[in-house]
Structure 1
């Protein structure tokens, strides 16, 4: 789906373009926090990211229940296995138990354990705890292990536990904890019909309502503290209230330890509906209710033909298959939603219709915000993938007794400010043009297969689109193998593989498909991936027997994806050191400044002690020599033979020498600073020369012969030189690159010709008795211009048109193979052209082991490369010799890390393939195999099996600094080399250098 937006440039244009989008009052977000976005994206980021501003009718959730008990006392509050209880009875029993809790020391803010199973006494316990001012801490007794119950008691500081008589022996006795058996207590007090008056307890929206412990599949469970304000906001406003009202039945099918049970239980009771608590048969309960709240796994296990009474269904907790959504939306209002426990059950929701193009997770719920941010917590543009952060009233109060984790995942909300918090959901997503969120998986569900990033849920979702598929789960076996578990048992396993193969790249296709009657579920109704993981070896052996597989498989639960959040960068060096390593003071500019300052010093000397400018005499001869010296230096430093010589000298330093020497030698590629230093200084001197010539020309005291032709030639030459420098300014050069190339080439040639004309005019005007030729040979200018002319002409003397064999792996890239008698060294580049007078483009040579010649990898990066890829000529022009590039500095180090993005992989390839310097690759690009073709990707994987290849289409842009640092440490490398665009190259180079790590990358003209 296309999700890009045009970039409107004024507020009026934005409103004209996006006027159909409903607005929220005022500018919600602090403007400085979204300044990195275009104006149109700023507008949409605010409009999409903010849910409706809605009044919440109650501050405490049990107050809403009490209101219904007062208005409709005889209405059925709940039913369970034939037993029913009215709102009045439930309220009375809850008051009785609340008073007992108070007598046993429960005060406002205390946490009370609720270790029960689904039952009416469970409801009494929940309401009693809330009425007493406490927070209930639910655990599904009988399923939860003793170790887990003990951990919860200790972690939540629980001093009193409510349970049921049949489970009292399962409740762990810890210290002096009190235990109240709810059903036993109610039996003893069943005849107490006196109206209970509870003491006034000032519970507010900020007090904790319940504490849900996460599943703990990746470590100890964490108790999430959810306030009354959090709970009321989602349960008492639309769409979170799901239209629950008196007369409707709501199913209670989920475990009480799962936060979605709060939605069922308190959602129903706080809105006056009837809660139907299930027994062992989920199907029976769902068949008789109007509203069902579930996970996709549970819903997919039901027979929809028996659920036609359902009016509203909503799923959350895990990705929903589209087929499931289409089935249920055909007869009821079906909603897909998303949100972790920490954002109060859900914080986005979408009603799905079968005609919808996408099954999204919808928009932010009322009084809440959602931000799609990059790794630096900067807003992503509309349509760009990023990580979803949640803000607003849904953000809970952190993890109990775990301030460190709370501080890590609950951070200050920079968009809303005012001390508010936002929560990192770890869900990946992006905004559609309709202002809905497309869920792209989770950051903790990514694995690396064959060097590529794979989102496991993406594979499963493709399988679940098959009509015959109910549920699917995909897991990683090893670095090259995926396994998919699918239900039902009779599904065609080869058809499953083909389904994935038709949509996703080859490395996403599961090597093994295991069909099962049903996938195992956790007690919270989600697919139990831990159980599936334990089935892998057994199932694999079975698969190997039936298919006579020849290779042994390795099994691992390890996930080798770099966890960017876990990568801790060392602190940067002190401010002065950082400034010295900064962009404005990098070696390129230091060399430029060195030459400029040296020339300024010479100018000052000439204006003072040198007395080069006086009324009696202008030392034009000295000024001319200094001018030509600067131009000669500036031009020679870019001569191909000189470049190769400089790199040869610098990289000849043995790796046994101290790193402090080698890292400085690696900066050799910044010689471009000498080029601009020489040419700019030469131009300044020439302007002085012209001024001096004019002064001399119009000085009445000068009685020498005056040559008007010389004056005109000098003036024109000055104009050309100044114009060439102006066109070479970074911003103009980038904006008018083709014009810069033509100006540099034809302007340079014209300037050189005029220098020769000027030199001849000056020599002729000297009135020497020697011949012109003799005077030329005696002239410094003649020899300087000769050197410059040869330097410029040499590459053109090797101009030739050669045959090229071009293959096009994809519409984005071509591989151009040359074999005209040259096999260049790794790390060199060749200039090619279709029109030698008009343009030249250099690309990194990739020598192929065992073959003569070389190839160039050319990516679509502009009009010229685009035409080349589309047309694929049989012949191209080449000139000069192959020339060393920045990558050659890898020879100085024992091990290096190569960092590349997109087509930056090209210059890396010869170094990776040659293997002269041990290396590791980090490559971030869009859909690598589709973009660059199987052949190239396979070559990379063969030479770099441990490469980190990041698919930015699937997973967004990674933090390359963190990835580079981790690779640098893991590989014990000595340096990092980055080939990317200017912005990212500098980010990586500075990110490393400011932390003392040698880093290199061509930045602009270096």
Structure 2
């Protein structure tokens, strides 16, 4: 029997073994560029050597700030080859967020591009190596030797939202990542005949599946263009033209993708689709099965347990009436416990505690929080630590779990795990803000964040605009509330606590209103037609040429509805990405005119 590539429980040695065995297999498809496994190996080893020359030692952290690309894939693999742990930073983050992540993770070095380095302050406090410098550096003459004893060292740090207002970095070990990928390969095998789409933002730990899983098992990575990861037309074209067989979707993006398909359009090139990150509805499963012959698997697991810890293949014919998160994958322990830490009876709800090889090494430089969330197993104190997930589940059938919701305030929007407390803390740092509260309004893909503020003075549009700007400069876009509502004081319950029910009722008032004057109602005028459609989709009043779709509360789902309605009324074929690139009424009309002029 062949020894598995990850027998040493390490990503670096497994990658090197795979590349050495099959150097001519296609490894990365990035636009028109195709890189073979041997080329990826040579560039990754070269970069890893330069990282070591710049002082990176086993256990060090290396920040990676690059657009989604072949360069990004090579950079993160180079970090693990050098013996370090990569901290991948989303290039869409505002500058202050980038600086926080650098300060908190304390990397030995930042690996980025010259163009992105130019956007950062000179006094970063972190040494920098650019991919251009890597490309220009002469190759090392010596043989590359992996560092010793890395199995239980961190390979990856994933930052998630923090309830105290401070994001926290979860330390994922070589052993944990290797075990998860091995489990996934055993249940959903891929080989050199497969192609895996890489589109997930590096803030999700599931981007590791899209990068390391295909690299370790010979499949090619197909890279989605930067900024186009939520453009369903772009993704559908990649799947079709690049013959993608395997895709991971966060549930909301799966919803978005299916909504964007035209009547009768199918996605039968896919062989298997994985989803998770949010609750999966039976209706969405039914719609996917009606559009594709691929299997659909629901994966569940917080970042603190390395990508996923349960899995369930959604049955078809008939489609399920209840979607489960499934049973424990290999090398995983699950406990469903009550508030006193005692096992609940079968079928009763309880909080899910997760143990096993995938449990992370804790939070970087957060010993108190680590001790709070990673606890002894009350059933078997001699066993390893359990991660207290905060998720409410119950055993639906023997060994099969159903997700019921959260036991705390944490929410999920488009798969992003969000702690309202972090947003509230950031709002309170804005000048003139005395109090802040954030709630999630709506359900499923319609969920939006709504912020409530009590200002030092009477709320004005200027004050709220300054608060919104303050947030946009400090938080990722998915954490910025769609609207802010000023209040004279916060509503309280009889026992003096903030009355979230009242705020939820008031959230309907948060829908932004159009600011422009109405466009002339000429049916032949594309600007007028767009303004009319956007007004309907957004539930806003008359729109003017300068009104912005996203500033008025639009999102990816409403964008799809707006584009499809525009196509129905005009007969035009409108590329979905235009609404993201030209989001004002007149600007969008001009972009459509330019796009269709040559047809």
Query: How far apart, in 2, do the equivalents of 1:271 and 1:253 lie?
Result: 19
Instruction: Please list, as runs of the form range in 1=range in 2, the aligned pairs for 1:168-567 lying within 5 A after superposition.
Output: 168-174=117-123, 177-189=126-138, 192=139, 197-216=143-162, 219-238=165-184, 242-279=188-225, 280=228, 281-287=234-240, 288-302=243-257, 303=260, 305-330=265-290, 331-354=293-316, 355=318, 356-418=320-382, 420-445=384-409, 483-484=441-442, 528=478, 530-532=480-482, 534=483, 560=499
Query: How far apart, in 2, do the equivalents of 1:108 and 1:438 lie?
Result: 40
Tell whether 2:105 aligns with 1:167.
Answer: no
Q: CA deviation at 1:105?
A: 0.9
Say if 1:272 and 1:172 are closer, same or farther in 2 by CA, change over 3 A.
farther
Find the residue that maps to 1:102 and give its secondary structure.
Answer: helix
Say if 1:138 and 1:398 are closer, same or farther in 2 by CA, change over 3 A.
same
Say if 1:151 and 1:306 are closer, same or farther in 2 by CA, change over 3 A.
same
Q: Conserved in 1, the CA contact under 8 Å of 2:342 and 2:378?
A: no
Q: Conserved in 1, the CA contact under 8 Å of 2:113 and 2:131?
A: yes
Find the residue that maps to 1:293 and give its secondary structure.
Answer: strand
Identify, as 1 or 2, the structure richer in helix. 1
Q: What is the match of residue 71 of structure 2?
A: 121
2:38 to 84, 88, 100: 88
Q: CA deviation at 1:394?
A: 1.4
- CA RMSD in angstroms comes to 3.5
Say if 1:415 and 1:482 are closer, same or farther in 2 by CA, change over 3 A.
closer
Query: How far apart, in 2, do the equivalents of 1:249 and 1:403 lie?
Result: 40
Q: CA deviation at 1:363?
A: 0.6
Query: How far apart, in 2, do the equivalents of 1:397 and 1:530 lie?
Result: 30
Q: CA deviation at 1:307?
A: 2.6
> What do residues 789-810 of structure 1 show as CA deviations (whole Å, max 9, x unaligned)?
xxxxxxxxxxxxxxxxxxxxxx
Say if 1:240 and 1:443 are closer, same or farther in 2 by CA, change over 3 A.
farther
Q: Conserved in 2, the CA contact under 8 Å of 1:115 and 1:171?
A: no
Task: State the TM-score, normalizing by the size of structure 2.
Answer: 0.65
Find the residue that maps to 2:481 and give its secondary structure.
Answer: helix
Give the length in aligned residue pairs.
Answer: 428
> What do residues 831-855 of structure 1 show as CA deviations (whole Å, max 9, x unaligned)?
xxxxxxxxxxxxxxxxxxxxxxxxx
Q: Conserved in 2, the CA contact under 8 Å of 1:207 and 1:227?
A: yes
Say if 1:159 and 1:173 are closer, same or farther in 2 by CA, change over 3 A.
farther
Instruction: Please list, as runs of the form range in 1=range in 2, the aligned pairs for 1:902-917 lying within 5 A after superposition.
Output: none
Tell whether 2:116 aligns with 1:152.
Answer: no
Q: Conserved in 1, the CA contact under 8 Å of 2:327 and 2:401?
A: yes
Say if 1:416 and 1:67 are closer, same or farther in 2 by CA, change over 3 A.
farther
Q: What is the match of residue 536 of structure 2?
A: none
> What do residues 576-629 of structure 1 show as CA deviations (whole Å, max 9, x unaligned)?
xxxxxxxxxxxxxxxxxxxxxxxxxxxxxxxxxxxxxxxxxxxxxxxxxxxxxx
Find the residue that maps to 1:236 and give its secondary structure.
Answer: helix
Query: How far apart, in 2, do the equivalents of 1:273 and 1:206 lie?
Result: 27
> What do residues 426-473 of structure 1 show as CA deviations (whole Å, max 9, x unaligned)?
1100012232101000112499xxxxxxx999xxxxxxxxxxxxxxxx
Query: How far apart, in 1, do the equivalents of 2:383 and 2:392 lie?
Result: 25
Q: Conserved in 1, the CA contact under 8 Å of 2:376 and 2:384?
A: yes
Query: How far apart, in 2, do the equivalents of 1:276 and 1:432 lie?
Result: 37
Query: How far apart, in 2, do the equivalents of 1:80 and 1:438 lie?
Result: 38
> What do residues 159-183 of structure 1 show as CA deviations (whole Å, max 9, x unaligned)?
2110022211234455652111114
Structure number, greater radius of gyration: 1
> What do residues 761-815 of structure 1 show as CA deviations (whole Å, max 9, x unaligned)?
xxxxxxxxxxxxxxxxxxxxxxxxxxxxxxxxxxxxxxxxxxxxxxxxxxxxxxx
Q: What is the match of residue 633 of structure 1?
A: none
Q: Conserved in 2, the CA contact under 8 Å of 1:537 and 1:555?
A: no
Tell whether 2:51 aligns with 1:130.
Answer: no
Query: How far apart, in 2, do the equivalents of 1:372 and 1:275 lie?
Result: 37
Find the residue that maps to 2:397 and give its secondary structure.
Answer: coil
Say if 1:528 and 1:319 are closer, same or farther in 2 by CA, change over 3 A.
farther
Query: How far apart, in 2, do the equivalents of 1:297 and 1:371 lie?
Result: 28
Find the residue that maps to 1:399 and give its secondary structure.
Answer: coil
Say if 1:73 and 1:172 are closer, same or farther in 2 by CA, change over 3 A.
same
Flag structure 1 segments of 5+ consecutive residues without an equivalent: 1-53, 448-454, 458-477, 490-521, 539-551, 563-1006
Q: CA deviation at 1:284?
A: 2.5
Query: How far apart, in 2, do the equivalents of 1:349 and 1:396 lie?
Result: 19
Instruction: Please list, as runs of the form range in 1=range in 2, the aligned pairs for 1:7-22 lying within 5 A after superposition.
Output: none
Say if 1:333 and 1:58 are closer, same or farther in 2 by CA, change over 3 A.
farther
Q: Conserved in 1, the CA contact under 8 Å of 2:396 and 2:402?
A: yes
> What do residues 268-319 of structure 1 show as CA deviations (whole Å, max 9, x unaligned)?
2122210001012333334431110120111111145353211111112111
Q: Conserved in 2, the CA contact under 8 Å of 1:68 and 1:271?
A: yes
Q: Conserved in 2, the CA contact under 8 Å of 1:380 and 1:386?
A: yes
Q: CA deviation at 1:417?
A: 3.6
Instruction: Please list, as runs of the form range in 1=range in 2, the aligned pairs for 1:634-783 lying within 5 A after superposition.
Output: none
Q: What is the match of residue 654 of structure 1?
A: none
Query: How far apart, in 2, do the equivalents of 1:417 and 1:485 lie?
Result: 39
> What do residues 936-969 of structure 1 show as CA deviations (whole Å, max 9, x unaligned)?
xxxxxxxxxxxxxxxxxxxxxxxxxxxxxxxxxx
Query: How far apart, in 2, do the equivalents of 1:299 and 1:312 lie?
Result: 13
Say if 1:555 and 1:277 are closer, same or farther in 2 by CA, change over 3 A.
farther
Query: How far apart, in 2, do the equivalents of 1:219 and 1:286 lie?
Result: 38
Say if 1:217 and 1:318 are closer, same or farther in 2 by CA, change over 3 A.
farther
Say if 1:352 and 1:183 are closer, same or farther in 2 by CA, change over 3 A.
farther
Q: CA deviation at 1:129?
A: 0.8
